[in-house]
Structure formats: C-alpha cells, structure tokens
Amino acid sequence: MSSARYSDPLWTTRAWRGLHVSADVGPAHVVLASSSEARQAMLRRAGVSFVYDPAAIDEDAVRLQAEAAGMSVAATALALAEAKARTVAARQADALVLGADQMLSCRGRIFTKPDDLDAAEATLRALRGRTHRLISAAVIVRGKAMVWSRVETARLTMRSFSDAFLHQYLAETAAGALSSVGVYRVEGAGIQLFSDIDGDHSTILGLPLLPLLAFFRSEGILPQ
C-alpha cells in the first residue's frame, strides 16, 4: 500500500466507486466515515492511505437515546462514533471503517455546533473564563464487528476576553466559527481564546491519533 506524503501538498480528490479518494493513494483498506477536513488532514499527514465515505445518521436521535439511558458524555460520543462506523461498514464490508465524534461539555451542559452567529456568540459567552472538556471518540468496525475503540479528553480554559474581542473574533472567523462545536479552531485564530490547554493536540482536533496509529500498525496498515 502506498502512503501519503508527510509534507503539506495541495490535495485533490476524485470520485472512485462512490467514494472520495486522495489522488495519490492506492487501494484503500481504511474508510473514514466522515467528511471532516481536520480528520482527513491528520490521517494524510500521518501517512495513512484512506478514502472517505461520510455517514448520514440522525445524531440528535442518538444523543436523545443516550441521555434517556443515562449515558456519560464519553459513552455518548462513543455511541455516535460507532453508529457512523456501522452505517458505512454496512456498505464497505471488507474495509476498516473509522467513525469518530467529538463532544463539548462545560459545567454539566453539552454543547452542539451553533446554527448561526447569534448561537455562536452565546456559546462563547457561556465558555468564557471557564474550563470545558472536549471528548473525542473513535471506533473502527470491520464487517459487523467493532474491532477497536478509544475515547480521549482534553481540557481547555478560555480566558476572560472582552466583548470587543468577542465581536471582532466572530466577524473575522464567521465561516469557520459555525463548523466547530466550540466555535474555534485552535490551529487558527481560535487559539487566542485560551489561557490554558491540557490535552493532546489531535484530540482537540477531533481524533485520538496516536492510539489509532498504533492500531493501524498492529493491523499492517502502517509499518511497525
């Protein structure tokens, strides 16, 4: 199997059997059940050959079922990741299908991606000056069997930024702000929101990458 380059090339995709394939990878053994650009970038830079086939599931329904069952935030994130992986594995039986999910919790409240800038501002006001948790879960399903899973947590503390900074930040990052549950991307201007970060960088970006790479090595996807 060929591996992706470790530099930061301009990546292109093409349609291949209904999937999206990195232009310089060979036959895929790994299928990412997500269209997340951040997760794709992490896998590519780590040298993992894969295709992506986004899962369409009712995430709100899964969350409600988890809440009714009294599941923890970590267990809920894992359930969402598993649901995504199983959905895609049903049509990719011979692949290692990777499903992932990330949840944000602060003072007992679960946050979801904002629908508009007003909701984004409300989220940032709620997180300002406080520590929140980002829980990243990943599951791999082969056929009908879940063969690997992992949940990792990062703790991030937002500084007590001014309203003026808040408004400027939202004005300058409007597009990206709505694509993240916490209304930030730490790899960009969102880093200015924080006074302290405790956790692995890849966990914050949405994937427990190091344990995942260890699994791929054990499966022969990556060299030992």
Which residues are marked as active site? 101
The rounded distance, in Å, linking the Cα atoms of 92 and 100 is 16
Q: Are 183 and 112 in contact (CB under 8 A)?
A: no
DSSP category for residue 205: H
DSSP category for residue 11: P
φ/ψ of 63, rounded to 5, equals -65, -45
> What's at 148, amino acid-wise?
W
SS3 label, residue 115: coil
Q: Are 77 and 137 in contact (CB under 8 A)?
A: yes
Q: Are 73 and 152 in contact (CB under 8 A)?
A: no
Residue 111 region, left (φ>0) first, then alpha (ψ -120 to 50), else beta? Answer: beta
SS3 label, residue 189: helix
